[in-house]
Amino acid sequence: MNIFSPDLFRQQFPALKEKTIYLDSAATALKPLAMIEASDAFYRHNFATVHRSQYQHAKETTQQYEATRQQVAELINSADSDTIIWTKGTTESLNFIAQGYFRPRLQAGDEIIVSEQEHHANLIPWLILAEQTGARVIRWAIEDHFLPSINSLNALINKRTRIVAVSQMSNVTGAQIALDKVSQCVHQYDNCLLVVDGAQGIAHHPTDVTAFDIDFYVFSAHKLYGPNGLGICYGKRKHLEDMAPWHGGGKMLTNATFDGFTPAPIPQRFEAGTPNVAGVIAFSATLAWLEKQDMHHANQYALELAEEAERRLSELNGFISYRASNSSIVSFNFEGVHHSDLATLITEKGIALRTGQHCAQPLIDSLNISGCLRISFMPYNQLSDIDAFIDAVIFALTLLKDE
């Protein structure tokens, strides 16, 4: 493992040679050269897809493709690489779980507890499922420190609860709930399962699906320095074995006639059609690159940057923070200033940040705001990024308050 050096880490990201100050990593992480080169090499030199042909190049590609499942399994501490399902992203993974596993099992009167901090990707699929089955979605409200509390979950959960859906880390506040405590609460009931959206958390904190006894865990490769268009869905083997295929086509069966078909074993039964082979191969290179990095100290550095940014923002009149403790995300407003107006002027100074409701409208509503600005840090950021950002904020506030 390489000792973390902010400068050396930053040098591995070609996009940072652009003039824009990138503070939108919660939306998507920048890509290291190792990932870019693997993707380029695949498209330049690879002429095979996977699980299709017997020639040597196809076999080698298939082996590498399947070996990446093992890398992901090791990343999240699953003992079984067959429990790793490739999807297009976190959103598709959650819809796959809702429709593939839960839709045949839910009935009227069942309850789905969803935390108030969720991205729409971990809310809308459950609302759709409830409408389809007659189940009810129960709001698990945020409380102190922008977190839903375990005490509140204990009060909500009961013998009718079938699902508890919660994010590992909020994409607005950066709040991070104790998944081990959530899991203990959920598994008081034999028929209740825990679904965790790890899209934000996976990049900042080690995740152990076995130790936390998580039933389903999902994330997107692009949040973890990997390629776009690739998602990961982990499920306990017993749950996946009980699931019927969600969509059909090539490669997901062992036999087909006009009378029916025989699904392939997991994970192939859930991966109909030609997959995103290039994405998987590029993600393999990303994971190998990550293993060489001192990510503990790297992520601690990103956290320190967020703390410094919040400290300097707090010196400006009217600053309102929605940042949870120990978060690499800083969401904020300024009193009397519309977030969209402020963001427009800040971006004129070459700052990439996010504004609006962040696909988390119930959370925004609970904060009693119409939206907010968000900056987010990764270890490739630096103090000079904060300097440029603060200068842009002061510039924007000066113009807006002179109006």
Return the active site residues.
Answer: 359
Structure tokens at 305: 């940057």
Spatial strand order in the sheet of 136-140: 84-87, 231-235, 216-220, 193-197, 161-167, 111-115, 136-140
**Integer CA distances (angstroms), 48 to 64, 228, 277, 283, in order:** 12, 21, 9, 17
Neighbouring CB atoms inside 10 A of 348's CB total 12
State the residue for tokens 């990932």. 35
Hey, CA dihedral for 299, 302, 308, 313, is it positive or negative? negative
DSSP 86-127: EESSHHHHHHHIIIIIITTT--TT-EEEEETT--GGGTHHHH
Q: What is the DSSP string of 20-47?
A: SEE-BTTT-----HHHHHHHHHHHHH--
Torsion sign across C-alpha atoms 224, 343, 302, 218? negative
CB atoms within 10 A of CB 128: 15
Upstream peptide bond of 104 is cis (omega within 30 degrees of 0) = no
Write out the E strands in 173-236.
193-197, 216-220, 231-235
Helix-helix angle 33-45:277-291, to 10 degrees: 150
